[in-house]
Chain A
Amino acid sequence: MTTSVDSETKRGGPRALHASALARSRWRTAFLLSPPLLWFLVIYLSSLLLMLVTSFWSVNDFTQQIDHHLTGANFAQISSGAYVTIIWRTVLLAALVTLTDAIVAFPFAYVMARIATQRTQRILLGAVLLPLWASYLAKVYAWISILEKGGALNWTFSKLGLPDPNLGFTNGAMWIAFCYIWLPYMIVPIYGSLERIPSSLLDASADLGGSSWSTFRRVILPLALPGLLAGSIFTFSLTLGDYVTPLLIGGSNSTLIGNAIYENLLTGGNLPLAAALSTVPIVIMIVYLTVAKRLGAFEAL
C-alpha cells in the first residue's frame, strides 16, 4: 500500500505542476489579449452598433433635434428614388473598377511572377508599390490635369486629329482614376498566388497533353483565383466607400454612397439618414465576403 501511495504522489507531482503552468499561461494569454480585445469591442463593435441604432432614429423637421424613437423611415427613404440610383451607380462602378483592375493586373502579375528575371521582378514590384507612398490626392489631381479640357489627353487627341474625348469631370474620369489608384491592391495578391504555383504543376499539365490554353484555364487560373478574389475585395470595398474622387474628378451625376453620407452628415444635418446609408456598403461587403469565402479567397491572405 505504501508504495502505491508513494507512486501516486510522485505521479501527482508533475501533473499538478503541469496544471498550474497551464493556468498561468492561460492568464498570460488573457492578459495579453485583453487590450486589443477591449479595443475591438469598445471602439469598433460598439460604434458599429451605435451607428446601427442611430439609423433607426429620425430628425424632427421643426426643431432639427434627433428624435430617439425607433423608426424604419430612413430605410424606406434610401430604398426609393434618388438614393437607389446612387446605390446602383456605386455598386456598378465598384464592380466595373474591380473587373478592369483584374483584367489589367492579371497579365502584369503573371509576367512579374513567372516570366521576369529576378532583377526585372524587383523593378516591377517597386513600380507597383511606389505609387502607394504618394498621396491619394496628388494622384487624383494628376488625373484631373490629364483628363480636363486643356489637359494632356485632349491635347494628344487634337494633335492626332481626333475629336476631344473631354473625359474630365465625368463618370468615365472617375472610373479611370479609381482603376489607377486601386490597381496595386489587385496586382499584389494575384502576384502572390501566381508566384506560389510550383512550376512542376505547369510541367505536369503540359506533360499530360495540356496546351498553354488548357494549362491556363485548368491550372493557373483556378490556383490564382484566391489571389484574384482577395484583390477584388480591396478594389470593390475601396471604391464602395470612397467620396473624395467623385468630389474632385466626378461630374454632376457622379454622386456615390460616400458623398450621400457626407452631405447628410455635414450639410444636411441628418445624422440618422447618414447612418442608414452607411449600413448599405456594410451589407454589400458582408454579402461579397460571404461569396468570396465560399470561393476560397481567404486561403490566399
Chain B
Amino acid sequence: MSNEPAIDIRGVAKSFGPTTVLHDINLEVLDGEFFTMLGPSGSGKTTLLRMVAGFETPDRGEIRLHGDEVTQRPAHLRPVNTVFQDYALFPHMDVVTNVEYGLRVAGVKRGVRRERANAALAMVRLEGFSERRPAQLSGGQRQRVALARAIVNEPSVLLLDEPLGALDLKLRQEMQTELKAIQRRIGITFVYVTHDQEEAMAMSDRIAIMNQGVIEQVGTPREIYELPSTAFVASFIGTSNVIVRNGRTQSLRPERLRLLGAGTKVPEGSNAEAGTVTDVMYLGMMTRIFVHLDSGDDIVAVRTNDDSAGGATDVETGAHIVVAWRPEDAFALESELV
C-alpha cells in the first residue's frame, strides 16, 4: 500500500446551471479502505463519485488518484471502475462477455480473459451463469455480474453508486456482508455511495456525511454516531433529539434517555426534565416512546424489550414521567438544526 491517499479531492466545486451541487469539497480516501459517502438525495454524493470516475469534471479544484492528477482525464483512461446503480449490464452480451468487456477493450488475449472472467464470477459466486443474458437474471444476480465486471480489471479504486438500492431488504443485508468480505479479500479501495445510513454503518471503515453539497463530517461509524459534529449529522445518523439548553444546541440519543415514573428519585448528577408520554410504539425488539417535555420540546426515547431493562410496557400514553440523562450523553453541536 502506498503512502499517497487513494483519492485526494482538493477544493472541488461544481454547479449545474444556477444550482451549486458541490461547494469546495476536500476529501482524502486512504488506500485499501471501505469509504462511504452518505447523504440524502441531492447532497452531491453521486456527482462527487462521477467526478472520480471521470463522467463529470469539476468547475474548480483537482482530483488525484494515488498521486496522479486526473481532474480532466476522460473516464476510459482512469484506473477506476464503477458498479452502477442500475447495473448497466450490456443487454446484448451474455454474462461472461459482460464481465470480460474491460479486458477485451484492453486487448487481453481470449484465453487469459476467459480465465480471469471466470475467476471473477467465482468470486461473486456466479459460476454456471456465464451463458445467460442479463435479462434472464434476478436483480441480485445482475448486481453480482456488475460487481464481477468491475473487479475483474483489478482497478486501484472501485466506485459503487448505490449498488444495493434496487434489492429487497434481505438480499441487501446479504450483499452488504459479501461486499465487505470481497473488499477485504482483494484489498482494493472501495468508495461507496448510499443514502442508507444503516448500510453505511454496517460496511464502512470511514464515512463522509454529505448534505447540500458540503461534507458535514468524516469519521468512523462509531465517531459519527457517538460524536456527531453537526445537528444534521446527529439527526441523519440514527435518531437524535436535538434540544437547545442554556443557548447551546445539544444532541441526545434516544437509547441514552432514562424514563422514570413521576416522583422517582433522579440518579445523582443526571439532568432530569418532566414531561407527558404522547405515544408508545411497540416494535418487537424495542419500544419507542414519544414524550412532550414541559419545556415544550418533543423528544423520543427507546427502550430495549429485554427483562433486565425493567419493561417499557409499563409506560402508557398520557403518563406523567421524568426523562433523565447523564450530562456526558448530551453532545454539543456545531450548528443549529436546519
Whether a CB of chain A sits under 8 angstroms from the CB of B42 is: no
Residues of A within 8 A of B84 (CB): 200, 203-204
Interface residues of A in 73-128 (CB under 8 A from B): none
Interface residues of A, dominant DSSP: helix
Residues of B within 8 A of A223 (CB): 91-92
Interface residues of A in 200-220 (CB under 8 A from B): 200-201, 203-211, 214, 218-219
Residues of A within 8 A of B55 (CB): 203, 206-207
Contact B90 A209 (CB under 8 A): no
Other-chain contact of B53, A198, A207, A218 (Cβ < 8 Å): A207
* Known pairs A209-B76, A209-B153, A210-B76; A204 contacts B105 (CB<8 A): no
Whether a CB of chain A sits under 8 angstroms from the CB of B149 is: yes
Residues of B within 8 A of A219 (CB): 90
**Cα distance, A205 to B150, chains bound together (Å):** 11
Contact with A along B33-77 (1 / 0, CB 8 A): 000000000000000000001110000000000000000001111
**CB-based nearest A residue for B74:** A206
**CB-based nearest B residue for A197:** B91
Whether a CB of chain B sits under 8 angstroms from the CB of A222 is: yes
* Number of interface residues, chain A, beta carbon within 8 A: 17
Residues of A within 8 A of B150 (CB): 207-208
Residues of A within 8 A of B286 (CB): none
Which of B84, B89, B105: most chain A CB closer than 10 A?
A: B105
Other-chain contact of B82, A207, A210, A218 (Cβ < 8 Å): A207
**CB-based nearest A residue for B84:** A200
Residues of B within 8 A of A206 (CB): 54-55, 74-76
Residues of A within 8 A of B101 (CB): 205, 208, 210, 218
Residues of B within 8 A of A222 (CB): 92
22 interchain pairs, CB-CB under 8 A: A198-B86, A198-B88, A200-B84, A200-B86, A200-B88, A203-B53, A203-B55, A203-B82, A203-B88, A204-B90, A205-B76, A207-B75, A207-B81, A208-B81, A208-B101, A208-B102, A208-B149, A208-B153, A209-B102, A210-B76, A218-B90, A218-B101
Given contacts A198-B86, A204-B88, A207-B55, 17 further A-B contacts (CB under 8 A): A200-B84, A203-B55, A203-B82, A203-B84, A204-B90, A206-B74, A206-B76, A207-B75, A207-B76, A207-B80, A208-B76, A209-B102, A211-B76, A211-B105, A218-B90, A222-B92, A223-B92
List 3 tightest A-B contacts by C-beta distance, closest first: A208-B102, A204-B88, A200-B88
B residues touching A (Cβ–Cβ < 8 Å)? 53-55, 74-77, 80-82, 84-86, 88-92, 101-102, 104-106, 149-150, 153
A residues touching B (Cβ–Cβ < 8 Å)? 198, 200-201, 203-211, 214, 218-219, 222-223
